[in-house]
Structure 1
Amino acid sequence: MRDAEKTVGGMIDKLKTAFIGSIDAEGFPNIKAMLQPRKREGIKVIYLTTNTSSMRVAQYRKNNRASIYFCDTRFFRGVMLCGTMEVLTDNASKEMIWQEGDTMYYPGGVTDPDYCVLKFTAISGRYYSNFKSESFAVE
């Protein structure tokens, strides 16, 4: 892959679903489908929204190791990014990615205590396309 940021960034922007991975108390990987990220800084930092009361948030608070997988079924390609996940509850972070219509999920608005931001920071990735995979560093 010549330009990981361009290729992977393009996938992230087009796909409507992201699959996030966390580690449970017994050390098993857990995967969850999420709505597409709200914001990204290249492919290094990716922001998502979720409920503060969710099982995923509790898992990330205990073990911040995480992964995100994006799958383009149309072209049978995918990318997994590995890194860490932070749970952000400060107002600046919450306002940064708030969108109109989010009250459907967070009735209390941007200050709803059950609304938080997940900030994923990638360290490495693995890209699959055309029946082969390749690993890459994320800088």
Structure 2
Amino acid sequence: MAAIEEKAAALLERCEVLSLASINEDGFPRICVMSKAGSEGIRRVFFATGTSSRKTAHFMKNPKAGISYGDEKDSVTMTGTIKIVEDDGFKKSLWKDWYTAHFPGGPEDPEYCVLQFDALEATIYVDGDFVTWRASDGRCLCRYCQSCGMPLNSEELYGTEADGSKNGDYCRYCMTDGRFTADVTLEEMIELCLPHMSAAHPEITAGSAREMMRRLLPGLKRWRSERD
């Protein structure tokens, strides 16, 4: 297991409440806050719900799903698929005593339903690492600049060290020859990034974009080391 996957799995272990999204009758994502029933690393997560619930109906029609979890500084967002668990023995192994309030018949209650989420892709933001990860082979598909947050989806965008070698932590606009290209504060970096963010995502207002970066950038390596 790659280090970034281990970090994401450790975060999931600490999180009891996650957000789970299904596709509703009108084609929109419908997000529910759910208690985690169990997990296997980050590649598989289980939830308990009602057999007759809307979300179960959604997943029976369209298995595409998304989940997210996190704490004050780290987060993971995943896309994947949901299936209904049919194994009664396994369902019983996930049973928690407090489920009785919802399923008075216990693990054999016909309303007790277990959903199995299988990850396809994850965006992981943990301990300053910010990557897109693929479940099929555990590869990191994309890294993000640890100064401005720009996606580094090709080596052409990597910054360079003093010897001319590539630096996979920073983009070429933020680091050249082993040095940052601009001596700026975190707030100044946010303002520098704002026009580019707005151009790439015109649907996001400048105020919203600024707030997003104020949440994201402080956790990146360049700014995290300054805070530490």
Instruction: With the length of structure 2 as denominator, give the TM-score of the two structures.
Output: 0.55
On the 8 A contact 1:125/1:136 being kept in 2, the answer is yes
Which residue among 81, 106, 110 is the counterpart of 2:103? 106
Q: Percent identity over the alignment?
A: 30
Which residue type is aligned with residue 54 of structure 2?
A: M
Cα distance change of structure 1 residues 7 and 112 upon mapping to structure 2, 3 Å threshold? same
Q: Greater Rg, structure 1 or structure 2? A: 2
Q: Which residue of 1 aligns with 2:135?
A: 138
Which secondary structure state, in structure 1, belongs to the residue aligned with residue 97 of structure 2?
coil
Shifted more, 13-22 versus 81-90: the winner is 81-90
**For the residues of structure 1 that align with 2:99 and 2:23, how far apart are their CA atoms?**
27
**For the residues of structure 1 that align with 2:101 and 2:4, how far apart are their CA atoms?**
35
**For the residues of structure 2 that align with 1:68 and 1:5, how far apart are their CA atoms?**
16
Q: How many residues align?
A: 135
**For the residues of structure 2 that align with 1:132 and 1:24, how far apart are their CA atoms?**
33
Q: Which residue of 2 aligns with 1:66?
A: 65
**For the residues of structure 2 that align with 1:59 and 1:82, how far apart are their CA atoms?**
16
Shifted more, 126-135 versus 94-103: the winner is 126-135
Task: Give the superposed CA RMSD.
Answer: 1.8
On the 8 A contact 2:4/2:129 being kept in 1, the answer is no
Partner deviation per Cα, 1:31-51 (whole Å, 9 max, x = no partner): 11011x222122111111111
Q: Which residue of 2 aligns with 1:17?
A: 17
On the 8 A contact 1:93/1:117 being kept in 2, the answer is no
**For the residues of structure 2 that align with 1:68 and 1:61, how far apart are their CA atoms?**
17
Instruction: Kindly indicate which of the two structures has a greater share of residues assigned to strand.
Output: 1
Instruction: Kindly indicate which of the two structures has a greater share of residues assigned to helix.
Output: 2
Which secondary structure state, in structure 1, belongs to the residue aligned with residue 114 of structure 2?
strand
**For the residues of structure 2 that align with 1:78 and 1:70, how far apart are their CA atoms?**
6
1:70-109 to 2 correspondences below 5 Å: 70-73=69-72, 75=73, 77-109=74-106
**For the residues of structure 2 that align with 1:10 and 1:116, how far apart are their CA atoms?**
26
On the 8 A contact 1:94/1:110 being kept in 2, the answer is yes
Cα distance change of structure 1 residues 130 and 41 upon mapping to structure 2, 3 Å threshold? closer
Q: Which residue of 2 aligns with 1:39?
A: 38
Structure 1 residue 130, shift from structure 2 partner: 7.1
On the 8 A contact 2:8/2:126 being kept in 1, the answer is no
Which residue type is aligned with residue 48 of structure 1?
A: F
**For the residues of structure 2 that align with 1:53 and 1:113, how far apart are their CA atoms?**
10
On the 8 A contact 2:95/2:107 being kept in 1, the answer is yes
Structure 1 residue 89, shift from structure 2 partner: 4.1
On the 8 A contact 1:89/1:115 being kept in 2, the answer is no
